Structure 1
Amino acid sequence: MKLDIRHVTHYDYSAPLQYALQSLCLTPQASAHQTVLDWNLSAPGQLFAQRDGFGNLAHTWSLRQRTYRGVVRASGVVRTHASPALVDACIAPEFYLRATPLTTATGALAALGRRHLDGPADEARALALALDVADRIAYEGGRTTTRTSAAEALALGAGVCQDQAHVFIAACRAAGVPARYVSGYFHAPEAPSLASHAWVDVCVDRAARRWLSVDITHRCLMDERHVRLAVGPDYAACSPIRGVREGGGDETMRVSVDIGVLPDVPETLPETAVLTAQEP
């Protein structure tokens, strides 16, 4: 599937913003699952690219001037290949056994992991755990925040894709199975609010560093509707946009993500990302 993606984040401030610093994990990379045909990223300041500790292509920018608004734009075309199995040699899978504040396993989470992962992780066990998590965490927006932990979401019984991913990851790690958070996009024309999405990678072969991508919200393996952006131990480590600011008063953020399907004809474009920096 050939997907045309437009992701825009507008910021408005009630008082002059004095300084801002942001890190952006908004650049997809080529893999067995996807080919990046074109990608553009822009921000109010000059972009500086770097490879973070998890292998993601991240960009930082800073701004030191009085302003009441700003905008970050990411857009491009990605061809997906519906390959849910990936090999990643960047970090040893054992790193993703470490608990984080968002994925610390309580007794209930540990029991959930033991119930489904009583042996080496494979597709059947991973999907069974995903279905159980989806049943336990009803998808409801507005019930949780980006700071809600896996234990809190499980106790609440509701949340969004981020919460479902954290519960799955915590259960896996408690059972001794490496798992990590994946941020990205999902083509859902019937539910555009799900365009900005999150799912999980579970390690099914440590020696080969082979991972299987599972979407808890949609109860399936990653398929051609998914575009990967970044991976990390949890949401806090690979959120699409994070940063700090000085001044600005109250902040209002407006986010739009539009994904369309383009005719999939042979292309000659290189697998690259074209980066620009513009004023809002």
Structure 2
Amino acid sequence: MKYQIRHRTHYRYTQPLRSAVQTLCLTPRHTDTQHVHHWQLQSPTPLQPQTDAWGNHSHVLAVGAGARMLQCEATGMVETLGTPLQSDPLGPDPRLYLMPSALARADDALRRSALAAVRGVEGRQAQALALTALVAECVRYQPGRTNANTTAAEAWLGGVGVCQDQAHVLVAACRAVGLPARYVSGYFHARGGPELASHAWAQVCLDPAERRWLGLDVTHGCVVDERHVQIAVGPDYAACAPVRGVRSGGGGEQLTVSVEIIPQD
């Protein structure tokens, strides 16, 4: 499936900025699950491209003094191939994804539940699917109850969250039972549905030696398929947020984000 995508991010400030530096993690890369036909970023100042430690394509945007707004737009076409398995030769050793991270750390309660869910289950894929079912049952999708800084342990305790929280809980649960797992940011499109915002899911490494990852979407109760467009991966959301950075000055801030994903077939 081919998708035309437009992702706009617009900051407005109540006072002039003294300076701002933003990292834009908005550029998908070719994988064996998707082909990027074309992609571009537009911003008020030149962008500095880089590849981060997790293998993502990102760009650094620096804004000088006096600006009262900051806007960037990512547009392009991506063709998804509908396969849930991805080989990733660019990222670090998958065993690094066994380490807990700030937003995807299992507490004792989550660890006990994860171990119980895979007890007697043979094989990495079967264990990953068992944990996906556990998270889907115990962390229901409900907007407005969590925020970008909610941890996996907090979402597990509260029993609700959005796609980011469900992905964090699944990643933490997998790591707790010895499965390397990582957070994925991207987009999801449901045929016939309204335009959708950014989405998140998890990948579990089935074969660390071959760096083979299985994509699992708790929110939609499925393995990754042609509806998913992958942008970036990392230990958790903080490592691959679409836009993150620091600023000096500017006073109050208003952020507006819009995402359009339109199938071309």
Query: Could you state the TM-score of these two structures normalised by the residue count of structure 2?
Result: 0.95
Aligned to 2:193: 190
The percentage of aligned residue pairs carrying the same residue is 49
Alignment of 1:20-169 (within 5 A): 20-89=20-89, 90-118=91-119, 121-169=123-171
Separation (CA, whole Å) in 1 of partners of 2:105 and 2:83: 30
Shift of 1:117: 3.2
Residue pair 1:117, 1:172 contacting (<8 A) in 2 also: no
- Segments of structure 2 that go 5 or more residues without pairing to the other structure are none
Shift of 1:120: 5.9
Do residues 220 (structure 1) and 222 (structure 2) align? yes
The one-letter amino acid of 2:53's match is G
2:258 corresponds in structure 1 to 256
The 1-side partners of 2:37 and 2:257 are apart by 24
Residue identity in the other structure for 1:65: A
Give how far 1:29 is off.
0.5
Deviations 1:145-191 (A, max 9, x none): 11111000111111111100111111111111100000011113525
For the 8 Å contact 2:106–2:153, the answer to whether it is kept is yes
2:6–2:74 contact (8 Å) kept in structure 1: yes
Inter-partner Cα distance in structure 2 for 1:196 and 1:120 = 34
Q: 1:121: how far off?
A: 4.8
CA, structure 1 residues 261+36, in 2 after alignment: closer, same or farther (shift >3 Å)? same
1:209 match: 211
Matched to 1:80, the amino acid is T
Structure 1 Cα separation of the partners of residues 238 and 95 of structure 2: 19
Number of matched pairs: 262
Question: Could you tell me which amino acid in structure 2 is paired with residue 74 of structure 1?
Answer: A
Q: Which residue, out of 238, 244, 247, partners 2:246?
A: 244
Deviates more, 1:100-109 or 1:241-250: 100-109
Normalised by the length of structure 1, the TM-score is: 0.90
8 A Cα contact 1:49 1:58, kept in partner: yes
- Structure 1: segments with no counterpart, 5+ residues: 264-280
- 1:144 and 1:160 in contact (8 A); partners too: yes
Counterpart residue type for residue 78 of structure 2: V
Counterpart amino acid of residue 199 in structure 2: H
Provide the residue aligned with 2:179 in structure 1.
177
Q: Over residues 198-257 of structure 1, what are the superposed CA-to-partner deviations in whole Å (9 max), with x where a residue is unaligned? A: 000101112222110101100101100111111100000111110111111110011100
* Stretch moving more, 51-60 or 98-107: 98-107
Distance in 2, Cα, partners of 1:131 & 1:190:
24
The worse-fitting range, judged by mean Cα deviation, of 107-116 and 164-173 is 107-116
Task: Check conservation: 2:117, 2:134, Cα contact below 8 A.
Answer: no
